[in-house]
Amino acid sequence: MSFVPRFTYSNSLVRYLGVIEGARAVIDVPLPPDTTLRLRHDALQRSTRSSTQIEGNPLDEAAVRRAIARSDRTGSDAEQEVHNYWRALDRVEEFAETKTDITEAFIQELHRIVIVRGRGRRGNKSEYRITECPVVDTLTRTIDYEPPEPGDVPVLMRELVDWLSTDASAELPSPIRAAILTHRFLSIHPFNDGNGRTGRLLAIAELWRSGYEMRGFFSFDEYFNADRDRYYRNLQMGLPVNFYEGRHDPDLTPWLLYFVEIMAYAANELQSKAKSLYQVEEAKAPPWEKLARTSQQLLTRLLARVLDGVESPFTINPSDIESWFGVSDHTAREWLKTWTEDGFIIPVKKGSGSRVRIYTLAPEWIDTCFKIRTSVPENSGS
């Protein structure tokens, strides 16, 4: 069998899709250069905090900010979850640039990033679960959901990614496709842990690869988190607890309506913010928008340090790059070498003939980041 989602369009669903499209156009207006990196950073931080909180992470905004600013893996499990989710968002951004279809390999890689603990790579991808994995209410200890049997998971996942590459899927509006992908993935529940975070990351990946990144300012996880009861009710749609008794082939209309409504609300708020920050004069593109993706991601990492008040926030070493980007020591040093040659960072030499182990951001970029810290209104989305 193949996966064929069932749903119907309604006037409300079409209206919400129109709101999203209208907001996309407005968000592309010129903005003051010193706000764009901060808006991007704030969206990533809100998404990280909200998606991990939905799964029970107890860290408040200040603690999340500190966890993001860290470049090691010595913190608590809650801090590690935040660290991992931000790194997974980096991976989603990298994937979105390829404009390719989501594959099982990508899903398994993304999940591995989400759940890794401590130092070390622990493999490149996660394997699907091989045991029963009921979803249990933490308070009542009753079973909220009984996912499909482990033996059915590989087939169900293959059918899902096969559907994503069909013409029928490609013809759907991207928000509809992202909503279907997320619900089906969560219904399959292919891993023992981390399904919720991975499912929401897949929605982001599908939207971003389809042109709905909205300059990186867009975050809708926080709206799911703001009313978690409603989020879970719409995921469940009043269906039976057991996957095989109705969740294997549900009418997805209620979930799609909720998902697109939330996305429209978030896009509309972002549109209002863009209008308030609109720069009437013709603006030059912010200098960091011309940088490579990894260079932009490094800036947001360093900005997190600035905002958290870290001492010497612009000082970097190879282990920082290893931890932030999940790369080897060799790759980290190659990146540092390239950034040095490009004038993006400057080596800090301690004595003649000694090996360079520490680098600092070039003065022009330090000035840019400090300018961001002091020029963006406090209610810009943090």
Q: Is pLDDT at 167 greater than 70 in this prediction?
A: yes
| pLDDT at residue 26 tops 60 | yes
More confident residue, 219 or 157: 157
- The confidence score (pLDDT) of residue 351 equals 58
Q: Among 17-31, 151-165, 250-264, 296-310, where is mean pLDDT lowest?
A: 17-31
pLDDT band, residue 44 (cuts 50/70/90) = confident
Q: What is the pLDDT of residue 14?
A: 94
Q: What percent of the chain has pLDDT over 70?
A: 85
pLDDT greater at residue 296 or residue 110: 110
CATH number of 11-277: 1.10.3290.10
Task: Say which residue, 379 or 315, is predicted with more confidence.
Answer: 315
* The pLDDT of residue 286: 62
* Domain extent listing, the chain: 11-277, 287-375
Whole-model pTM over 0.85: no
pLDDT at 31: 63
Helix/strand/coil (H/E/C) assignment for every residue in the chain: CCCCCECCCCHHHHHHHHHHHHHHHHHCCCCCHHHHHHHHHHHHHHHHHHHHHHCCCCCCHHHHHHHHHCCCCCCCHHHHHHHHHHHHHHHHHHHHHHCCCCCHHHHHHHHHHHHCCCCCCCCCCCCCCCCCCCEECCCCCCEEEECCCHHHHHHHHHHHHHHHCCHHHHCCCHHHHHHHHHHHHHHHCCCCCCHHHHHHHHHHHHHHHCCCCHHHCCCCHHHHHHCHHHHHHHHHCCCCCEHHHCCCCCECHHHHHHHHHHHHHHHHHHHHHHHHHCCCCCCCCCHHHHCCHHHHHHHHHHHHHHHHCCCCCCEECHHHHHHHHCCCHHHHHHHHHHHHHCCCEEEECCCCCCCCCEEEECHHHHHHHHHHHHHCCCCCCC
Q: Which CATH fold topology does 287-375 show?
A: Arc Repressor Mutant, subunit A (1.10.10)
Comparison of pLDDT for 112 and 303, the residue scoring more: 112
| Rounded average pLDDT over 161-166 | 96
pLDDT tier, 64 (very low <50, low <70, confident <90, very high otherwise): confident
Q: What is the mean pLDDT of the chain?
A: 85
pLDDT tens digits along 262-307: 999 888 887 777 777 665 445 556 677 778 888 888 888 888 888 8
